[in-house]
Amino acid sequence: MFVWLTVLLLGCGDAQAAKSDVFYSGFVFLGEHADRKTQYKYSDQIYGIKDSEGLLLVEKELNKRIANIESKNLKLISGRLGQLDSGEGLAMAIALDWEDVTVEKLEDELVKSVYNLHGQVFIFDFVKMEVVACYPFGVRVTDCTNDIPTEERKLGIFRKLYLSDIQGVSFLGALCELLEDMEVKSNASSLAFKVEDVVIEPKAKEFLDRHFADERVQAFKIFIAQQFSSFFAKNLKTSILPYTKGSAIGNKMAGRFANGDVFELKIPDGDYPVTITIRGFKKVKLDENATGQSWAYGSYVRLVVESALGEVVNSKIKNGAVKVVPQGQVNVADSSAFVESLLSLFDKTTKQIELCDSAWLNKCAEGSSTKSQFHALKQKINKY
């Protein structure tokens, strides 16, 4: 099974580039090629929009923004890409890994829609065709309407996130903020961390069976791995290798440039493989009165981080997200609330690896045992 990366080839240059130069290679849709039009329903349409000269608008906007970035650590080059045999070193691809819109009818003539776009910056050695760093970014906006939004409105929201902004929020703007401060370390050991497996326990599978089609369970695992990796990289300011189980062969990610050239990116083995076990989900009513109901959406995981010498972390972790449902609300998106709870758990957990707050660890993890494990993991991360 291959991960097809659809990338625009922007042209070639003859000039020799210094090792510190990073060439922008194009936009990538992560996931299986056959799923692209369903997994990225709106982004796929927007990416195909061209201007009067036949240029792809997303790539045109990306090139313009990249040209204006004043990166502190990288020399970003757009508009041309080094040849595979030219000896030019690092290339950069912008990878989309999640597009989502959740619609919830709160009451008569009040509908809330939440739009998400999430991606990663892949830095790879263009000579060795090997990934050397991955960094996440993403945006979320909320839209309130009188009725269920039409497909045209949904497409319009995503188009603004790509090609302009919504009250200052922009997918490409979030990318540029990341690129301004991003640093690519030459030490290969900085690539040590990688989600190797996502395990779904029986109680969690009951949730998936209710809310996801059978063929989407693997997609859910990929989503979990991508989201944990994103929070890990963002909150701990370190790179983490992309998850490849079920979507790559021999730790190689296959791709195709827009001109038809095929390539494979090698994904190094992780020195510290991470396993995320989804143990289950639970919904509990906290309160009810004349104005509505208050519910806690609990998510439960086990986090395991290993090394050649044994386990560094092996801890149960839980999180509860509170959702207030007004009296008379017609539709409650339980699946969305559980996913929000799980993402919040990943955010808080990766922050606690750095903070090691005893009160939080006692409440949401396994107390002093988790604290000592997180402290040991933090020391390993700080080495790089």
Distances (CA, A) of 330 to 12, 104, 105: 56, 9, 6
What CA–CA distance (Å, rounded) separates 88 from 112? Answer: 48
Angle of helix 171-181 relative to helix 151-163, nearest 10 degrees? 30
Position 192 scores a pLDDT of 77
What CA–CA distance (Å, rounded) separates 15 from 242? Answer: 31
User: The dihedral of CA 343, 345, 346, 347: what is its sign?
Assistant: positive
Position 328 scores a pLDDT of 76
Encoded tokens for 112 = 């809330």
- Roughly how many angstroms between the first and final C-alpha of the chain, as a whole number? 33
pLDDT per residue as tens, the chain (384 positions)? 333 333 333 333 333 333 367 888 878 887 666 777 888 999 999 999 999 999 999 989 988 898 888 888 888 887 655 444 455 568 888 888 889 888 878 777 889 898 989 888 888 887 777 888 888 888 989 999 999 999 999 999 999 999 999 999 999 999 998 898 887 765 544 557 999 999 999 999 888 887 766 556 777 888 898 889 989 988 998 888 888 765 544 566 655 443 445 557 778 878 899 999 999 999 999 999 988 999 999 999 999 999 988 899 999 999 999 988 888 776 777 887 898 899 999 999 999 999 999 999 999 999 999 999 999 999 988 876
Query: Can you point out the beta strands (E) in 47-109?
Result: 75-77, 90-107
Position 130 scores a pLDDT of 81
Partnered with residue 194 across adjacent β-strands are 241, 273
What CA–CA distance (Å, rounded) separates 106 from 93? Answer: 39
Taking phi first (over 0 means left), then psi (-120 to 50 degrees means alpha), and beta for anything else, what does residue 21 get?
Answer: beta
Encoded tokens for 170 = 């922009």
Distances (CA, A) of 321 to 98, 281, 332: 22, 11, 14
What are all long-range contacts of 216-222, with beta carbons under 8 Å and residues at least 24 apart?
218/246, 219/31, 219/35, 219/39, 221/245, 221/246, 222/31, 222/198, 222/246, 222/247
Position 252 scores a pLDDT of 66
Position 215 scores a pLDDT of 55
- pTM for this predicted structure: 0.77
Query: How many CB atoms neighbour CB 326 within 10 A?
Result: 11
Distances (CA, A) of 224 to 181, 229, 253: 26, 8, 19
Q: Which amino acid is at 67?
A: A
User: The dihedral of CA 23, 25, 31, 32: what is its sign?
Assistant: negative
* Residue position matching structure tokens 């903070």: 355
Distances (CA, A) of 44 to 36, 41, 136, 286: 7, 6, 20, 41
Position 19 scores a pLDDT of 37
Partnered with residue 368 across adjacent β-strands are none
Kindly give, in sequence order, each residue whose CB lies less than 8 Å from that of residue 29, ignoring residues fewer than 6 positions away.
4, 5, 6, 36, 39, 40, 43, 44, 47, 95, 96
Beta-carbon-side half-sphere exposure of residue 196 (alpha carbons within 13 Å): 16
